[in-house]
Structures are given as structure tokens and as C-alpha cells.
């Protein structure tokens, strides 16, 4: 019985079939998090630029 459990445990330890899928999911989540953070930063920068142009156009009129 213990020998059978040991064999099963060794086979599960050697089996890495689902490991790649988990790694790809983690990398995808990390890329998505970085993209969302970057997009917020870019959106704020664009908003500030348009606000500056708006205020200069308003003062020029």
C-alpha cells in the first residue's frame, strides 16, 4: 500500500502537463495588469494636454 502511494506521488511529481497553462495564465495576467496601468497613465497625460490646449485657446479668444 505504501509502495503504491509512493509510486503515485512520484508520478504526480513528474507530471508537469498543467504547469505550462498556469504559467501562461500568470504571464497573461501580468501583461494585462501592466497594460491597464500604462493606459491610465497615458489617458491622464492626454487629458492634461487637451486641458492645456483648451485653456490656451480660451485665453487667446
* Residue-by-residue DSSP string for the chain: -HHHHHHHHHHHHH--TTHHHHHHHHHHHHHHHHHHHHHHHHHHHHHHHHHHHHHHHHHH-
- The answer to pTM > 0.85 is no
pLDDT one digit per residue (tens) for the chain, 61 residues: 778 878 877 776 666 666 777 888 999 999 999 999 999 889 999 999 999 999 999 998 8
Residue 20 pLDDT: 75
Give the span between the Cα atoms of 59 and 27, in whole angstroms: 48
Cell 511529481 -> residue: 13
Domain-by-domain residue ranges, the chain?
20-61
Amino acid at each position: 500500500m505504501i509502495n503504491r502511494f509512493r509510486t503515485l506521488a512520484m508520478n504526480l511529481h513528474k507530471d508537469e502537463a498543467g504547469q505550462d497553462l498556469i504559467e501562461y495564465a500568470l504571464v497573461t495576467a501580468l501583461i494585462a495588469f501592466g497594460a491597464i496601468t500604462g493606459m491610465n497613465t497615458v489617458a491622464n497625460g492626454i487629458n492634461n494636454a487637451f486641458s492645456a490646449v483648451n485653456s490656451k485657446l480660451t485665453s487667446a479668444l
